[in-house]
Amino acid sequence: MFSNEIVAGIQKSSWIRKMFEEGTKLVAQYGAENVFDFSIGNPDAEPPAEIKAALMEVAQSEQRGMHRYMANAGYNSTKERIAEKISKETGVKMPVENIIMTCGAAGALNVVLKSLLNPGEEVIVLAPYFVEYLFYAKNHGGVPVVVNTDKGTFQPDLNELEKHITPKTKALIINSPNNPTGVVYSEEILKEMSALLERKQKEYGTQIYILSDEPYVSIVYDDVIVPPVLRIFKNAIVVDSFSKSLALPGERIGYIAVNPAIDDNKTLMAALVFCNRTLGFVNAPAIAQRLVEAGLYSRVDVNSYKERRDVLYNHITSLGFECIKPEGAFYLFPKSPVEDDVEFVSIAQKYNLLLVPGVGFGCPGYFRMTYCISMDTIKNSLPAFEKLAKEVFNR
């Protein structure tokens, strides 16, 4: 009656959404002030003032045609601003023709994968990963191949990666700063990865693309620098969104940026534009493009996220939880003190703590918690973590 694959996908649906829905039930039962929902990365920050001002300006404008169809790749003026910014920040001269405005990074990834994949070709995903990557690859006939990162650092394990590269490998998705760990992949490892991919491409006579998913690239702490993949990988395709950097997740706005060094660039760009249209996106939202154009260099208050990270990280590690301190994004990914991370998350619910098991990110034995929630919620949750720690560490 229905697609077997879709039904299976529903049954394996995101643990993030499952725990978020559990939180809704607990709020109804105990009140919002008594429930501590660390499940979903839905920023509580408001968009910068420049974005709100631009929205008012667009709403009040008498310019005709502002809400009509446009070229499928988006407004040239918006793309020019983005291309200019990328060129300045990466040192790679980005042509405006190599930018496509999209319906968020999720839309961008689906457009790229639809453009690249032939049935049965493989997409390597590094674990822990954002769970939707697996579905995005399958959406377009691809086969996701999960490769574990180093458990001590969550940096890519190049020995493991090499074992999983085959003649069918078409793409490798990287996400740095990473969701769920907050780890930033080092420039040294990325350069070694680039050399590895070059060797494998020569060995197999293939082309392997790096898809760099970068929604957290501007949310970093302690003077950490995110290495620009466009400068490191010839076959790099960057997908980005403004959901996190400008606190606009509901506006669904992002872009694709293609390294001009990629062979047969014009054909690839034509394929991306074609898929942006035929997958049903047609074009990125007009108003959102205008907002991004006006506020491209604006940012949410990263220091507020850093303060929340420090309060939460310092508290849980003082209680005995093991955790790598995040360098970016707004997640903690501690080790579960209970062997079964799903069981641990269930125990945490007794204290109205909503956490996400690591198995949902392809990394059992850990759990994820977001700190893009209010500082009041974080501070109010600390006694609950103390009670949880007392139970699980005294078993």
- Say whether pLDDT at 116 is over 80: yes
Is the predicted pLDDT of residue 19 greater than 80, yes or no?
no
Tell me the average pLDDT across 281-304: 95
- CA distances to 22, 34, 44, 373, 390 from 28, rounded to whole Å, are 10, 10, 20, 19, 27
Most confident of 3-12, 45-54, 115-124: 115-124
Non-local (6+) Cβ contacts of 340 within 8 A are none
Query: For residues 292 and 78, is the Cβ–Cβ distance under 8 A?
Result: yes
- pLDDT band per the 50, 70, 90 thresholds, residue 9: low
Q: Where are the alpha helices (DSSP H) in 252-374?
A: 265-278, 286-295, 302-318, 341-349
pLDDT digits (tens, 9 = 90+) for 88-108: 999 999 999 999 999 999 999
Please state the pTM of the whole predicted model: 0.94
Which residue is associated with the tokens 């669904």? 252
Q: What is the pLDDT of residues 23-58, one digit of tens each?
A: 667 666 666 677 899 988 788 889 999 999 999 999
AA identity, residue 128: P
**Exposure of 300 by Cβ count < 10 A (0-12 exposed, 13-18 middle, 19+ buried)?**
buried
Angstrom CA distances, 197 to 108, 118, 168, 262, 264, stand at: 23, 20, 13, 14, 18
Provide the b/e sequence for 155-164 (b: ≥16 CB within 10 Å). Answer: bbbeeebeee
pLDDT of res. 12:
53
Listed range (18-27, 80-89, 115-124, 161-170) with the worst mean pLDDT: 18-27
- CA dist., res. 239 & res. 231, Å (int): 15
pLDDT beyond 80 at 18: no
pLDDT value, residue 293:
94
What is the per-residue pLDDT for 42?
Answer: 82
DSSP three-state, residue 249: helix
Examine the pLDDT at 365 and tell me if it is beyond 80.
yes
What is the per-residue pLDDT across 331-356, written as a single tens digit (0 to 9) for each?
999 999 999 999 999 999 999 999 99
Q: Please give the average per-residue pLDDT across 208-212, as a whole number.
A: 98
The residue assigned the tokens 């990963």 is: 129
The tokens of 347 are what?
Answer: 């125990």
Q: Which two tokens stand for residue 354?
A: 């909503």
Most confident of 3-7, 26-30, 131-135: 131-135
All domains of the chain in start order, with CATH: 4-47+300-393 (3.90.1150.10), 50-295 (3.40.640.10)
Mean pLDDT of 136-161: 97
Rounded to the nearest 10 degrees, the angle between the axes of helix 286-295 and helix 76-90 is 40
Residue 20 has pLDDT above 90, yes or no: no
Query: What's the pLDDT score for residue 296?
Result: 94
Q: How far is residue 179's CA from residue 328's CA, in Å, rounded to a whole number?
A: 9
Which pLDDT value is given to residue 3?
62
**Burial annotation 320-340 (CB, 10 A radius, 16+ → b, else e):** ebebbebbbbbbbbbebbbee
pLDDT of residue 13: 56
List pLDDT tens digits, range 256-287.
999 999 999 999 999 999 999 999 999 999 99
Neighbour-count burial of 224, counting CB atoms closer than 10 A to its CB (0-12 exposed, 13-18 middle, 19+ buried): exposed
What does the DSSP 8-state code read for residue 163?
H
What local confidence, expressed as pLDDT, does residue 41 receive? 79
